[in-house]
Structure 1
């Protein structure tokens, strides 16, 4: 039977949306006649990104709980009841064979509604510290796909499969693309290249650091690919030059990764998984402004394998230059970090997850 019906939900951030799209793409490749429906939060970025990827999406009136007493918090019970009611209607009308949740507020009501109808459900958890929605759903699902060890502290051990995070498959073939990458960014072979990325919107503190250290990089013969983010491009584009290439957003990430010798990055789950596949020395500067400080936890899980360097935002002004040079001046250290992070890569995550989904739908078919 090839006309399966797949319902997927994940959103709020790219870290939840892109894994859901990657899983849908793999399912579509295997089952070209299948029907797909995404469910998201009606005012979040999934409502734009999912249709761009070619899939239909329905929105729920749902948002998270704020940490302090706000009007949004007072509205939360009403939003939750409304979303569960609408999710039940969507499930009843679409009649999915399986529901896939990748985290984010909307996946809560959807998977609750689907599991209530005895539809098999699976979760994909990107982080080393799970979000509130996935913890809430764990008892209602058949399988939970994770990217880190130790998640049996939060989820039933017999449901966990360590698959890794679905990432762009074009990153598997960048080893011979360095020259192409340097040419694309109009950089030279005679300098080391630092690639700085703070996420699609940008990271204020990382941008401030890079601006402050431009002379330091110049003195050390370092050229930059600097993805400063859409929010900050107007502020930093003035630094564009022969050795500093400033971009709001980079569409062809594989060429940026290929050109880089060293990388500075936030520690969102998908970035960490991509960087493991890329296998180059990385400095993680985790965002302290995320739920449960999960970026620091993601980075720490890599650092404990001697596979990256972690610098906290509070320490940037005092330790950045010394820490950077300790890696930059040691080919041996660069090689060691690159080999160790690559050893953590799980490049077949998407197909491994879909293999397990196939087993579940064939069992109930």
Structure 2
């Protein structure tokens, strides 16, 4: 039998959505006749991204609790009750064999109702510091797939399976030729290349830093591939030159990684997992504006294994040039970081997660 039914829920950010889509695609390749339904939060990016990936989605009226007292917080109990009622109806109507949650607000009500109805649930936690939703759901989940060591501080030890994070299926096979990559970007092999990744929307503080440091990069003879994000592209495209290439979004990541000598990046779980597979020297600048400061914790987990350099946003003005110069001029350090990164990579994460899901199929 392969006409199984799966509900996947996760969203709010790309970090929750893309793993869910990767898991669905792997399940679909094993069970072509299976049926899939995604459940997300209304008005969040999953409502657009999931249909683009070819899957149906239903939205719940749910948001997180704000950290300060706001009108939205007063609505939270009403939204939660509404979402639990709708989630209950969705689960009863769709009758899934397994429900998979990848984190984010919507997965809370959905997995809570599914587990109450006796349907096996699998959680996938991307970060080294578990999210609130997954921590609340852990008791009822059958399996919890994680990407970092030490997750028993958040979850029951016997349920944890270390699988790694799903990454783009083409990433492990990325074997782009450097010469081809240089030609794609219009850069030269004679000078080193720094790639700057601030996420698809961009990172204001990283963009401000790069703008300020362009002259410094020039004195070091460095070429820059700068993904500033679509929110900021109009502000920074004026810096486009023979040695600085500015993009709102980078579609050809195989060329981006092939061209890179050093990468400067945010430390979202997906980015960290990808960069480990690619095995490049990375300098992480975590976003301080995320729940439980999990990006800093993701980056620290690598720094502890000599697999990255970490600079906090608050230290950029005083520390960036010193730390960057230390990394840029020390080829041995670059080599060690790249090698240690590779050792932590888990390129078969999606398959490993789906193996765990298969064990729960009746």
After TM superposition, is the score higher than 0.5? yes
> Counterparts of 1:1-365 in structure 2 under 5 Å?
1-361=1-361, 365=362
Give the Å deviation of 1:293: 0.6
Question: 1:12, 1:255 → 2: CA distance?
Answer: 28
- Structure 1: which 5+ runs fail to align? none
- Structure 2: which 5+ runs fail to align? none
Question: 2:338, 2:60 → 1: CA distance?
Answer: 42
Question: 1:171, 1:19 → 2: CA distance?
Answer: 14
Instruction: Note if contact 2:8-2:99 (Cα within 8 Å) is conserved in structure 1.
Output: yes
Question: 1:168, 1:179 → 2: CA distance?
Answer: 23
Regions of 4+ moved over 4 Å: none
Give the Å deviation of 1:177: 2.3
Question: 1:177, 1:96 → 2: CA distance?
Answer: 44
> What is the CA deviation profile of residues 312-352 of structure 1, one whole-angstrom value per residue up to 9, with x for unaligned ones?
11111111111111111111111111001111001110000
Instruction: Note if contact 2:286-2:296 (Cα within 8 Å) is conserved in structure 1.
Output: yes
Q: TM-score, normalised by structure 2?
A: 0.99
Give the Å deviation of 1:140: 1.0
Instruction: Note if contact 2:88-2:110 (Cα within 8 Å) is conserved in structure 1.
Output: yes
Question: 2:130, 2:177 → 1: CA distance?
Answer: 35
Query: Does the residue aligned with 1:140 lie in a helix, a strand or coil?
Result: coil
Give the Å deviation of 1:282: 0.2
Question: 1:143, 1:252 → 2: CA distance?
Answer: 34
> What is the CA deviation profile of residues 17-41 of structure 1, one whole-angstrom value per residue up to 9, with x for unaligned ones?
0000000000000000100000000
Instruction: Note if contact 2:8-2:20 (Cα within 8 Å) is conserved in structure 1.
Output: yes
Give the Å deviation of 1:175: 4.5
Question: 2:41, 2:91 → 1: CA distance?
Answer: 16
Question: 2:170, 2:39 → 1: CA distance?
Answer: 27
Give the Å deviation of 1:182: 1.3
Question: 1:91, 1:292 → 2: CA distance?
Answer: 30
Aligned length in residues? 362
Give the Å deviation of 1:176: 4.8
Question: 1:346, 1:32 → 2: CA distance?
Answer: 25
Give the Å deviation of 1:174: 3.3
Query: Does the residue aligned with 1:225 lie in a helix, a strand or coil?
Result: strand
Question: 2:313, 2:255 → 1: CA distance?
Answer: 28
